Every structure is written in structure tokens, then in C-alpha cells.
Structure 1
């Protein structure tokens, strides 16, 4: 079986596996094959000689009393003390004896079974290594070409050596992809199945995807000069991002938006035209709520438990609510508060509007006093 060991070494090198992992896979494969072709209920162990790169398969047999019923029920697993004494005079009850067996004695069927077992266990190690690799990548942006779009509009993407799926529910509204398109997404889930292997799920609707795209597009975010404190999205419609700067020299909003909006527009384009509002984060809830309702101008904010009572001029209410309520929904998602809007009551009169035409006329007596008669 020397050739098989050499093949295993080459597989370890080719697949990038640790030699120890390959050896364990090989030992498991040999033991499973022995159970299949020699004795299903027997115990086996494998030893590998590092110098010769050959392996030896042993069958373990337990020493029991001569009248033990297990000798009749499972003669392949047990040996009587009398017989064992003939082999080794120092043997005692409960000891385990080992006898060398060879799969080669069982013909081509054993060799074929061993080959398939090795292939199976090596594949499991490869999948486990890949699983750990992609599990560590959860929450990062991945990209690849589209290989298939099924009838339910689930999009399949080739990411390195693994196929990932972008379900329709994780796709931005209004997006459609075709075979050959290269798309980006956030790695949301990694699973492994004995039948189907590694399973990756990608999303383009998570707020984390927006944050990672901003990190790629804005050097100040990547370098830690600007920090994304919170974000909220209604995918394909609008998003809000709360930012802070770690240096007083950096304007977090200006750095993220970029000159003439070039940076934020690049991210918006990747998100199918999603509008992105950048606001400066504040640890003071009242200020943060007021800023989150931008572009509306807020008069005051009062926090009551998980509710934010916002007072604002009547002409700002529609801006605070936004089209179809998007702005106030995003502000609530971003801040974590339920927002209640209260309009400021209109004042009875203001100086110019309350005056009559007669009151606005110049007093004749005042002219006389100023210029004389």
C-alpha cells in the first residue's frame, strides 16, 4: 500500500491540507473499510511508519473467561484466556491482543472500498477547511460572476471554488441579473451539508453591505478616521448612516460624501440608485433624533423611555415624514426610538402681518416734528 500513502501525500500538498489531517483521514478510511469487508463489529487500529510510509492494520481482540457467552456470540472480538495464554503467557483477563490483518487479502473489492473511503474522508477535510475559511469571512463583501438564475429568481454566483446563492428575498427591489454579470454582496451565512457540501448565502439588502461598501470607497473609514456608528436601510429606496470622526480635523460627513458627492454616488450606484443620507452621530439622544430626521428642521425633541416626541414647524412635517413615510421610518430604525411628531401651533400674529394699511402709514405729526411746518 506504499503507493496509496504517496498519493495521500500528494493530495495533502494539492489541497493545502495539513499532513496530520490527511493521516487521520487515511486511518479512518482504512478502519471503515476493514469494518466493511472484514468485520463490522470488530475494533481496528492503524499505525503508519513515517520512514517507510507504509501502514499496518491491526484487529483488537479482548481476553475473556473460557465460559464467557460472548465467545459464541462474537468470536471475532473475543478470545478465551486459555487460548490467549498459548500466545502470551503473561496475558490477563481484560487485556487486548492485536493481530495484524491485510486488506490486500480481500481482493479488489477491498481495494476499491478503500479508495472510495479515502476519497470521501479527504473531501470531508477539504470541506471542513473551506467551511472554516468562509465562516471567518461572514460579514465581508464577496463578488463573483453569475452562473445561473432559476425560475424563482434565485441568483447563483461562483465565489472562488464555491457556488453561492443570492435568494430573491436578499436582492434589492428592481434588480435583475443575467448569466455572466459580476455582482457583489455581503456573505450572510455559511453552512455545510453531508449531501450537498458547502452552502453560501449572499445578501445585498443588509445594512452591513452598505457599511462595507462605504469602507471600500472611503479611505477615512478604512483607516479608522471616520467610524460608522449606525446605519439603517430600506433597500433600493433610501438609507441613513450615522458617522463620527476620531480626529477633529476630519469632517465625517464631508469625507464620506466626497467632492461633489463622488464617493457616496459610487456606493449608491452599486445599490441600484439607493439614496444615502449621511449625518453626524451624537451620543445625546435628543440631538441624534433631530439629525436623523434631516432634511427636516426640528424645533425640539423630548425623550420618554423608548419614545421620542419631536416638535417641529408645520411646514417641516412632510419633510420629516418623507415620501410614503420612508424618512421617519429610517430615523426610527437608526435611533431605536419610536418617533412622534407634534406641530408647533401657529401664532396669532406677527409684526408686519398683523398691521393694517392705516397702521403702516407714516404719522403726519411725526413728519411735522421731524421737518417742521
Structure 2
């Protein structure tokens, strides 16, 4: 085959691939074609001659001892016979016989063409997989190209088509063909049968974090760190933040003047309410802050449980509508939260002491 080196260079430029990677796959395609055409029991090697720009294909014959029982097989040769060809050969070396696939006609050309197409396609998929695997949990934009009967939304992103299932879509959210959608890459899989599978999500806490990073320069620059986040998609979220420098107020920077930054993120999440809290490495303080807007009296940490004491008036705030606030606080901190009321018992004690004082005053 003439000027195969030029063909390799052309494929590399057209597909955006490295020359050496394409060369390795083309050589592999020649070897696989040889196995199909000449037999799988032999070993083959393909090398590119840069001077002639041709690929040379060889059948490898292993040099073995005179008494080796494998000499009856086709791809083994005794040391004595090997020396008739090349005196420098030793046991374990290989004697290479050059093959010419072109001599086998159309069948060989077809087999080689299919092998080349297959290996180049696998190389492209591997490079795409490598590229997008490094982008998991990062924000991407894409255009909706199809929505199927199961409400899977197919979104075109650069050179591939990703999918966002109904469970990865915020409740009551619907898309139509032509919509531009923001999401994070949730997972990337390379399937031998179906190729690249990229899954997108708008319900992951990482989507919230990616939106905040895009909206808040202090987060993007590393002045503010997102320690953790928790979401009940479309309803409420909590995000724990801390500043890497005393000059930056982590919560204030994230919320923005008059809430402009946090509201922009909330709007992208269909009005999801977002609580920004300051992270603390002290678990009791962190749990107390995570229960905001409730004000707690005390927090006791017992292994992975946080026992929270608070007055009755604060209990409903700590729990939140349908338990959403306490659930998010637990998800954010990693602690099981147990609420204890303290105000009512203290009130009874105070009333009893007051009654005793009155009795003593009036001599009863």
C-alpha cells in the first residue's frame, strides 16, 4: 500500500488525533486483518517504514530448540534451520517472513478496510471518553435535539449527544427541541456496543455548585470554597462555604448585593430556595448553622448523631415544611439530627420556684 504514512497524517488531521496514536491503530488493523486472512495460530507484526511510507507486515516464526515438541506446528522453527537464514538468531528470537495482503485481492482489501475503520472509530471514542471523563461534575451547555417517549432528553454537546433522564431533570421541568440547556456531566461510560454514553444532570448538588462557581468570581478564583452542598431539587438547597482569606465574607460574596448572585442561581433552578451558610470545622457549630433559620440552644455530638436542644418556638423552623429543613441539614453535615425541646420544662421549674416564693412571702 503506497504512502500509508500520508494517509495516517490525513486521518490524524481530519479527526484531531495524534499521529502516533493513529499509526499504532493502523498497524494493529493490519495485524488483525492478517490473523483473519492467514490464521489466528500465528503471530504477526506490522511496522511503518518512514523512508518508503509503507507498512510492512510480517509473520513471526519463533525459534526453538531442536527437541521442542512444538516444531510440528507451523509457526515454530528449529535453531538449526533458522541459522540457514540468519546466523545471529538464538532460541526465543523470531524469524520474520514478510506478507503482502494486496496479493489476496478484494477480500483482503475489504477485511483491511473494515479493520482500519473499526480501530480508528475506537480510538476516537477513547479520546472522547478521556476528554469528558475529566469533565465530570463540570457545567456544560447544549441544545436539545430529541425528547423520547420516556422523557429522556437528548442534548448535543460539541462532538457528541448526551442524555438527561427524567430522574436527572428538576420536577415539572420540560424541554423541547431547540432549547439550550445547562447541566453537569454526571457520568461517562464507554460501551463496546453503543459507544460513548454521557449522562447529564440538573438535580445533582454538583449542578448547584457548578452554577455558583460560574456566578460568583470569588468561588471561581478560590477565595471562597464550597465545603458541601445538599439539595431537594426544585424546592430547597443548602450550601456550606468558607473563605480562604479574612478579607472575604464567604456568605456575603456568594449571596451578592441584594441577593443578586444567589437569585440568579435560584432562577436557573426554577426558583429553588438556597440557604448559604458559613462552614465550621467544629461539628456542633456546623450543625447549629445548618439548621438555620432556626436558632438552637445547644448541640451535643454523639458519634454520628447530633442531639439538638431548642425552645418549642424554634422547633417548626428547624424541621421546616414537610421536614425539608432538617433533612437538608442532615444531608449537609452528615449527622443524624435529633431535636429536644428545653423551654417548656424550664418554664415549669420557674413557675414552681415562683409559687414557693409567694408562699414564703405570705407565711403559708
TM-score, length basis structure 2: 0.88
Match of 1:254 in 2: 252
Residues 143-201 of structure 1 deviation map (CA, whole Å, 9 limit, x = unaligned):
20111111111111111111111122222122111111111111111111122111111
Distance 1:47 1:248 in 2: 62
Distance 2:149 2:101 in 1: 50
Distance 1:303 1:67 in 2: 76
Please, which moves more after superposition, 154-163 or 81-90? 81-90
Please, which moves more after superposition, 3-12 or 255-264? 3-12
Distance 1:315 1:95 in 2: 86
Q: Give matches, 1:301-316, under 5 Å.
A: 301-316=299-314
Query: How far is 1:94 from its partner?
Result: 5.7
Distance 1:86 1:101 in 2: 20
Distance 1:111 1:253 in 2: 66
Match of 1:368 in 2: none
Match of 1:19 in 2: 19
Contact 2:3 2:52 in 1 (8 A): no
Kindly indicate whether residue 347 of structure 2 is the aligned counterpart of residue 347 of structure 1. Answer: yes
Match of 1:123 in 2: 121
Structure 1 residues 89 and 4, CA gap change in structure 2 (3 angstroms): closer
SS at match of 2:171: coil
Match of 1:239 in 2: 237
Match of 2:162 in 1: 164
Query: How far is 1:10 from its partner?
Result: 0.4
Query: How far is 1:85 from its partner?
Result: 5.7
CA RMSD of aligned residues (A): 2.4
**Aligned match for 1:204, one of 193, 202, 210:** 202
Kindly indicate whether residue 187 of structure 2 is the aligned counterpart of residue 189 of structure 1. Answer: yes
Note the residue ranges of structure 2 that are not aligned, 5 or more in a row.
355-364
Structure 1 residues 107 and 338, CA gap change in structure 2 (3 angstroms): same
Match of 2:32 in 1: 32
Structure 1 residues 193 and 56, CA gap change in structure 2 (3 angstroms): same
Distance 1:90 1:233 in 2: 71
Note the residue ranges of structure 1 that are not aligned, 5 or more in a row.
355-373
Residues 46-70 of structure 1 deviation map (CA, whole Å, 9 limit, x = unaligned):
2221122112222222356788765
Match of 1:293 in 2: 291
Structure 1 residues 308 and 13, CA gap change in structure 2 (3 angstroms): same
Kindly tell me the number of residue pairs found equivalent between the two proteins. Answer: 350
SS at match of 2:29: helix
Structure 1 residues 305 and 89, CA gap change in structure 2 (3 angstroms): closer
Query: How far is 1:287 from its partner?
Result: 2.0
Distance 1:157 1:114 in 2: 35
Contact 2:216 2:253 in 1 (8 A): yes
Query: How far is 1:340 from its partner?
Result: 1.7
Distance 2:255 2:172 in 1: 25
Query: How far is 1:93 from its partner?
Result: 6.1
